[in-house]
Amino acid sequence: MLMSNASSIRCLITAGPTREFIDPVRYISNPSTGKMGFSIAEAALEAGWNVDLVAGPVALEEPKGAILYPVITAEEMLHQVDALFDACDVLIMTAAVSDFRPAIQHTHKEKKGEALMNIEFEHTTDILKTMSERKAHQTVVGFAAETENVVTYANEKLASKNLDFIVANEVGRAGSGFAADTNEVLLIAADGSSIKLGPATKSAIAEELIQLVTPTR
Ligand code: CTP
């Protein structure tokens, strides 16, 4: 089996949260800081890969050498990933994409009162699943952020989203998941094999992850 020439590998990475607006001054989102995705982008660059980084609103320095595509909403992330997917060899979706958005986005600030007491939501598109359904040569890697039954839910997502790998990540406790500098994850492959990464810094985990998901041709 021959390893791909590192410089020819094009990697598409998503990172950070999305924001789904209720009106111009209010939105729903989540605590993702984008650190894991940006660390993976750094590690991929370090490995000599070309990196497209689609990032929701984050306060992180742009990895030098990556092409950064800033987005805000899940819909914008979907369109950007859709535009870049066919040219990539590896898709790594670390983004904490909002699963819901308000069914109505008001164009003017809603005044406090009855109007905002009940908000109807609709589902956003599952970006990872949509890309996976049309994958050709791509290696597709998803993240499963879970607070309980981490491995069971991650395995379900690996199968239902037709992924090559899923990173099972427990969130909601100190030293792991959202906003932390460190993490501890389980990388599960489609053949059922798995490997624990960490506890370690997100950078160290990212380096190992990039080695493990390197496409072979
Ligand atoms: N994801 C995506 N598009 C969405 C929601 C999630 O591409 N609209 C991706 C995430 O980037 C992640 C994977 O799907 O790589 C799993 O996301 P997660 O939020 O853990 O799971 P969901 O599929 O949203 O399911 P649930 O919220 O029920 O756990």
Residues with CB under 6 Å of ligand 1 are 74, 93, 95, 97, 99, 124, 126-128, 142-145, 157
pLDDT tens digits for 30-74?
Answer: 999 999 999 999 999 999 999 999 999 999 999 999 999 999 999
Q: Which atom of ligand 1 is nearest to the CA of 127?
A: 7
Q: State CA 180 to chain mean position distance.
A: 16
Write down the pLDDT at residue 183: 87
User: Pocket of ligand 1, candidates 126, 162, 164, 167: which has the most ligand atoms within 8 Å of its Cβ, to mutate?
Assistant: 126
Decide if 100 is inside a domain.
Answer: yes
In sequence order, which residues have a C-beta less than 8 Å from that of residue 125 and are 6 or more positions away? Answer: 74, 75, 78
- CA of 37 relative to ligand 1 center, distance in Å: 14
- CA of 204 relative to ligand 1 center, distance in Å: 24
- 30 given a catalytic annotation: yes
Decide if 172 is inside a domain.
Answer: yes
Decide if 168 is inside a domain.
Answer: yes
Write down the pLDDT at residue 172: 73
Write down the pLDDT at residue 129: 97
Q: Flag whether the pTM goes above 0.75.
A: yes
Decide if 10 is inside a domain.
Answer: yes
Decide if 135 is inside a domain.
Answer: yes
Q: How many residues does the chain have?
A: 217
Low-confidence ranges of the chain (pLDDT < 50): 1-2
Pairing verdict, β 100-102 and 90-93: unpaired
Write down the pLDDT at residue 113: 78
CATH number of the domain residue 135 falls in: 3.40.50.10300
Decide if 42 is inside a domain.
Answer: yes
Interatomic CA distance for residues 150 and 171, integer angstroms: 9
Write down the pLDDT at residue 118: 87
Number of domains comprising the chain: 1
CB 177 within 8 A of CB 145: yes
Domain that holds residue 191: 6-109+117-213
Instruction: Please enumerate, as own/partner, the contacts of 100-106 that have beta carbons within 8 Å and a separation of 24 or more.
Output: 100/20, 100/28, 100/124, 101/20, 101/21, 101/28, 101/73, 101/74, 101/75, 102/20, 102/21, 102/22, 102/28, 105/21, 105/22, 105/23, 106/22, 106/23, 106/24
Q: Please name the helix (run of DSSP H) or strand (run of DSSP E) that holds residue 46, with its range, or none.
A: helix 35-46
Write down the pLDDT at residue 79: 98
Write down the pLDDT at residue 1: 41
- CA of 70 relative to ligand 1 center, distance in Å: 19
Choosing from 5, 30, 155, 169, the catalytic residue is 30
Decide if 95 is inside a domain.
Answer: yes
Q: HSE-up of 136 (CA within 13 Å, CB side)?
A: 5
Decide if 1 is inside a domain.
Answer: no
